[in-house]
Structure 1
């Protein structure tokens, strides 16, 4: 068995096969168009690849995608050293080929390939099949909890200093505090816009509206959100809350934006930095639940990479 990068034609062939797994709400033609549109997005064009595990006869046994993403490592002096990490998505084996360990072999060969990349730090994936299959290939599971907040009527701009538009993404991302951990992933504005592009694709199928804003500022705190997938939910992509009062103002704005856009709820991925602030919302109908799928898992691609148990994996990193 060997690993190859897929050609454009091979990518289209995989799209036809993966429709049954990820084509919810779309026709086969609509799903193919979605894949083409997402691959044409600037973040994908920067370095997105489809990888194929092939048998000796050339048969494709399994496939996945990788996206190059930013990461930072603190050196001994405390300075940040930028590098490359790789977000892994769409790991797929046809049903007739399952049970032979092909996905594990794919992940092992892919890790060896990524380790050879200059400045490689780590690989990141979000498992929908539990941690066991990826743990075999050296991936470490991180905690995964969600907070669900009900929509509430009102003007989203009233509780905050300002609402953010798509053109504000870069400035807003620059306001966020970088994590105080030895190593972390960090998205680019293009990566966050890739999530919004998914919402632009799905909105016509969901019976809702695209949110008119992409986040808000309150004091020194910032939140970024969006309709980002196949469910009519307002999903928080990034949240930097400097105080309980500012966290409450930002999430209140999110709840009002969800109501204005006819979305069913606000979903917040719990992170170490704001976990202490979220329980204050329980009296307002917020609930904390174990995440169903999208379990974050990390594999170092260089010896000695320090992985903190407090490593944040905000929704803005998901692929």
Structure 2
């Protein structure tokens, strides 16, 4: 067995194979076109790779993708050192090939390759939809995962925010957000934020449904950014930086108002320690254990804190 980077033809073939896992409700051809468009996005062009585990005859045994993230590790001098972390996604083994350790072998080889090729490497991260045991075998450690759900109501509006944000406003909005005061964190780039909005654009077009009228809002020094998940009928908060309870309520009310107008059933926010005290006081907010998308971390160098100490906003998901 050996690891290779996929050719364009191999990527197209994997699109059709993996449709069974992630394609619904799109047709096979729509799903392929979705993948083509996402791979053409600037964030993917700069930092995405598709990996294949092949047997000695060249048959594909398993596949996955990796995406580059900027990450920051606090040093003994109290300064953050910038480095490279990598999000692993779309781990797939065809049903007839499962149960033979192919995915674990591929994950080990990918991590070794990332470590070898990245002198500034910090960590590999992933968001597991199949629980933790499979990836623990490859050195990944999970972190607790909770969501806050809000149901859109007729009395919610955008009147208490200062501004609603459009796609072009995202870089400036991200720039004004405070970064976590923790020993280690990953931080999305403006291009990664727009990748989420490109997914929204694709599904809005293919499923013929309206996009939300805004992708975020500001009030005072507080900011929220969000995106539609058309497949599940949800609005997901990608990033939230709030300075007080009133700001949290105003921003999440605005998100709910946008969701209701777009015909979405709920607003979902990933729990983070820095915002939980404010979100917990928002009227109607309900805390639930997350189903799927379990954050997991594998260090690519010594000295990283334990996975539960790493914050994971929804913007980091792939």
Into which bin does the TM-score normalised by the smaller protein fall? over 0.9
1:50–1:64 CA contact under 8 A, matched in 2: yes
Structure 2 counterpart of 1:107: 107
Specify the SS of the correspondent of 1:309. helix
**Residues paired across the two proteins, number:** 317
In structure 2, distance between residues paired with 1:160 and 1:74: 34
In structure 1, distance between residues paired with 2:115 and 2:316: 20
The equivalences for 1:303-314 within 5 A come to 303-307=302-306, 309-314=308-313
Task: Give the CA deviation at 1:185.
Answer: 0.3
1:170 maps onto 2:171 in alignment: yes
Structure 1 counterpart of 2:298: 299
The equivalences for 1:130-279 within 5 A come to 130-153=131-154, 156-204=157-205, 206=207, 208-279=209-280
1:208–1:263 CA contact under 8 A, matched in 2: no
2:177–2:223 CA contact under 8 A, matched in 1: yes
Structure 2 counterpart of 1:52: 52
The answer to which of 3-12 and 284-293 deviates more is 284-293
In structure 2, distance between residues paired with 1:285 and 1:204: 32
The answer to which of 234-243 and 270-279 deviates more is 270-279
In structure 2, distance between residues paired with 1:208 and 1:241: 30
In structure 2, distance between residues paired with 1:105 and 1:22: 22
Specify the SS of the correspondent of 1:46. helix
Deviations 1:87-139 (A, max 9, x none): 10000000000000100001111111111122111011000000000011110
> What TM-score does the superposition give when structure 2 sets the normalisation length?
0.96
Task: Give the CA deviation at 1:298.
Answer: 0.6
Pair 1:242–1:213, CA change in 2 (3 A)? same
Deviations 1:217-238 (A, max 9, x none): 1111110001145222111000
Task: Give the CA deviation at 1:303.
Answer: 1.5
In structure 1, distance between residues paired with 2:308 and 2:129: 21
Deviations 1:8-40 (A, max 9, x none): 111111111001111111111101100100000
2:170–2:190 CA contact under 8 A, matched in 1: yes
Structure 2 counterpart of 1:16: 16
Specify the SS of the correspondent of 2:276. coil
1:43 maps onto 2:39 in alignment: no
In structure 1, distance between residues paired with 2:45 and 2:82: 20
In structure 1, distance between residues paired with 2:208 and 2:11: 30
Specify the SS of the correspondent of 1:276. helix
1:197–1:228 CA contact under 8 A, matched in 2: no
Gaps of 5+ in 1: none
The answer to which of 41-50 and 308-317 deviates more is 308-317
In structure 2, distance between residues paired with 1:204 and 1:40: 17
Structure 1 counterpart of 2:93: 93
Deviations 1:289-316 (A, max 9, x none): 1111000001100122233633210110
Q: Aligned-pair RMSD on alpha carbons?
A: 1.4
Structure 1 counterpart of 2:314: 315
1:182–1:308 CA contact under 8 A, matched in 2: no
In structure 2, distance between residues paired with 1:171 and 1:156: 24
Structure 2 counterpart of 1:30: 30
In structure 2, distance between residues paired with 1:57 and 1:308: 38
